[in-house]
Structure 1
Amino acid sequence: MEFLLAEELNLPTMGETRQGWVIEHRNNAILIDIGAKSEGVISGSELQSMDDETRELLAVGNEVTVYIVNTEDQHGNVVVSYAKAAEELDWTRAEELLASQDVYKGKVIGQNKGGILVKLGQLRGFVPNSQISRRRHFDDNQKNKLINSVIQTKVIEVDRKRGRLILSERAAEKEARQARRAELLASLEEGTVLKGRVINLADFGAFIDVGGVEGLVHLSELSWKRVNAPADILEVGDEVEVFVLNIDQDRERLALSLKRLEPDPWTIIDEYYQVGQLLEATITKLTKYGAFARLDDEYALEGLIHISELSENHVNHPKDVVQQSQTVTVRIIRVDKDQRQLGLSIKQVVSDKFVEADLEKLTTIQD
């Protein structure tokens, strides 16, 4: 019988959330029509803590959601709360954001030693220091500069019973980076020149950030000149221009180059190498028809010592005369710019053909 009576009169129950309409403002209360026998009353204590923005939402005639705090107080009123209802809705929204992992933009409303506070409706979400973006380099005092600014976050923990709401700026930033990465990779073309920043150095190359996408400049693409380690010519934080060598969309990898933006030594080889020139070189590879040697200078170009140029005597195989990694003196006997080839000789290091040129050079050095 009581159930039927409550059903007929639409009696409110404690903890229930209802839709209602603002019908009157009094000195110390706001009356809400909640569709029951009695109006709901938002108490003066709640009104005192409301900001102006919330008060505007409670203008007469507006539809609002309220939470039933007490079905009958000492004065016989149904006590309702707008803030509690909004809070319940915000907890539901926070749980939905946690499940969907959508990015939430919120205003920073405070800070403490452990992190910053972000408003999510009526709730105060907490972003621990460990979840603040790494790009923000500041101490506790400088966190005040963030107050009233809007940041992007993701909800990473919700505990309604304990009133615990944890947000992460880093998680949102990671998603934004991935989106930028996919967008940039899709728009890039091989041969493009980009501006970037060195973010890490490894033995095998340098990692460059180009607008949120990381690319690798392999050691061999750092310079036309010899580079033993990336740290010899670069530092983390350096701003550089890079040439896009290759884009692997499937593996989301970007191969970059610094040396392609420098003059190719083969285009200016006549300025550095001439037939008859003596140089130190290191044997890099042996074949049945000769030995390859890398010149021991800043460009470290490689040339071929044909088997016939290894010795005055007959040679069955280059290994009979030289070994891999051996350092030898060679003479340049051919420069082919078009074919990008250097012809080298050990046999002609001491040769009557170049005596006058060698003497002239020796005289010049002594002078």
Structure 2
Amino acid sequence: MSEEQIEDQAVSEENISLEKSQDEATKDDHSPPPDSASAGTPRIEEDFEDMESLLAAVDISSIRPLKRGETLTGTVMAVEREGILVDIGHKSEGFVPTSEMLLLGADPLSKLEISQEVTVSVVQAETAAGQVGLSMDKARGEQGWKILQDWHDNGEVFEAEITSFNKGGLLANVEGINAFIPMSQVVGAKPGSDGVAPLGSQVGKSLKLKVIEINRKRNRVILSERAANQEWRAEQKEKLLDELHPGDIRTGIITSIRPFGIFVDLGGADGLAHLSEISWDRNANPEEMFSIGQEIKVYILRIDQDTKKIALSVRRAAPEQWDDLITRYQIGDVVPSVITRLVNFGAFARLPGPVEGLIHVSSMVDRRISSPKEILDEGDVIPVKIEKIERDRHRLGLSLRDARDEALALGWQFDSLGRIIGFPDSVREELSEEATIAEQRFEQRKAENAAVEERASVDREARESRAASARIEREAATDRAPQQTAMEQAFAQASSVDQDAEEIEPDADIVESTSDIQEDLDNPVEEPSGETDQSDSDENT
């Protein structure tokens, strides 16, 4: 109904009231005169004397129809479970559901109070309940689009509260506009995962965001936490690297969990706590121990100014834990342990507790070995002797070689190479799971040793058999040889000597043949009288 129609209706109602008053006046003229008590009572005056006063008294806004998208200002009348009742000065109160006040955050009702003034937009003139459907988000919407467009054009970073999430990412309401943050743009989320754990924990938190895409026609706004943090973190990282020093203990937020360790945000720069520095137990699983967004204390191990990398330790941030674990051990104790890792210089062994120590390669066996793999395998259960306890550096020095004598007395079994092939029953009480797995390996090791011994025995018997056969053949050859006289033996020996001499090539200038010598003996040469030629003498000589 238009204002002109309302005014016409108001005029007709005034005319009707005037006609009724005239009729009543006519009746009063034919009625008996009033008594003395009523004679002094003045006649009732009309409340509205002219059209102007009538229009002024009528609240046109309360009866005119509301238009969809109209922006109003109202007062909160009541805060209910599903939303709020708002007095908008109309014949019916308005209702704003919680889904239409996301601009207030994940818990909007907690931020509203009775008599609080709010700006709303008309969504529905009249609902089934006879109320006016209102929205606080849409009242802010048109202005919000303009603000978001300015932020996008200027590359501004802002904060917004996360209102919800789904498998694809996070949802936020910024200036009355619903926006989406993909998982790939959320710091610490894993692309390809369902995101329930890391994303759900973000609801209700305020994040630094940046508009990376906006499309008013498609009602589409894409935000990014990574882009927002990039510039800020670049500045903070340089500043933080100058402030940090090895040995410092800082509080950080876990941003990522990987099989090899965890990344921790120290307030502008991420550091890595390697798997070996997460817990005193090297078998600890980081995904079971930590969660994205968790606040923890870390120990600064190293800072590389060239690569801008920070090495962290979670376990060293709580050194009292190591001290508590090591109180049960003393230097010289022989205890069972499990090999957790093999390296070129030795092996790491975990003691019950759990606490870990190092067995140097020189402390494994008496002989020299080139690699720990010659003696040990990962998962082996072995006895070790505690040789050193370095409390200030949280280190244990262990020895397999020095533990052998006492271990044999306790029931441990070693093979010829120095490898463990058995342990006493008491070990199962402290390392039950590891002992079960190691027993299977030890049985296989025993079978291998038995096979090697069997092959060695067969080879030994074959060698002994060949030696016996050769000895018998020599003895048989000696028995078959004919008997020789002493003369025959002498001629045989001489013949052997002549044969040996023939093998040597004679020098023609020094030694003469046997026939020439025999000829000279048969025909001696007479010496001439007088002086003898020196050369001939020398030659005869």
TM-score where L is the length of structure 1 = 0.47
Higher-strand-fraction structure = 1
More relative contact order in 1 or in 2 (CA 8 Å, sep 6+)? 1
